[in-house]
Chains A and B, each alone.
Chain A
Amino acid sequence: MFKIEQDKQGTLLLSGRFDASREESAMKCFNLVEKSTEIDCSQLEYISSAGIGVLIATQKRLMQNNQQLILKNLNPHIVEIFKYAGLDAVFTIK
């Protein structure tokens, strides 16, 4: 189960498991993001390179207009995976 929801402040809430089977539907959702947006990962249990690819592609697109994704509330295991992938260098992680 993987879900993307948006709260009233515009924060995107990711929950569940972001694996390769969710890449296509998630990309459609992230393609709608046009300005700097916080991504609340407190309920994100798992992410693979497919999910990371969606975040990187979105970040690349947004940064062309000086906008960005801001990742927050990641669990420690996912922070570690992000560091292995070098995402700590290209995302603001709160």
Chain B
Amino acid sequence: MNERAFKRSLNSLEALFDFLNEFLTGHGIAGKSALELQLALEEVFANSVEHNNASAGDITVALEKTENAITLRIRDFDVEDFDVSKPPDVNTRAPLRERRAGGLGLHLIHTIMDQVGYAHENRISTITLVKYLK
């Protein structure tokens, strides 16, 4: 499994995408699957930057390819418990005036990933995203 630590900043996104894209390119993965993996990874990472700002530590990202799937594992340290494994209550057909800013990123993650796992132990959160390769 390829693993790397990233500073807790949105300025890390460029390096994060480079890390992911290099991995995906090495495995011949492009197009829709690559875009959706980039999107899901950004949403999780950006959520950590925004909501776990009391923690100063780096966020680690691990990438793995198995025969029929790509797995992304994002670990965040010294953070509160926030279970992302259940889809949020977002009504994407609501009129514009009723749209809320929150929850859209998590909604997208659940829409485009095949599995979303979550664990929180000793103040360490581990989010596991799985995308099947078709």
- List residues of chain A with CB under 8 Å of any chain B CB: 17, 19-21, 46, 48-50, 52-53, 56-57, 59-60, 63, 77, 80-81, 84-86, 89-90
Contact = CB atoms under 8 A, between A and B. Distances in A.
Contacts, number: 68
The 6 closest A-B pairs by CB, nearest first: A86-B92, A49-B105, A21-B10, A20-B46, A49-B104, A90-B96
6 contacts: A19-B46, A20-B42, A50-B46, A60-B99, A77-B32, A86-B94
Residue of A50, A53, A57, A63 ringed by the most chain B CB atoms within 10 A: A50
Given A21-B11, A21-B13, A48 B92 contact: no
Task: Give the contact-size bracket for chain B.
Answer: 20 to 34
Contacts of A85: 92, 104, 107-108
Interface of B: 10-11, 13-14, 17, 31-32, 35, 38-39, 42-43, 46, 49, 91-97, 99, 101, 104-105, 107-108, 111-112
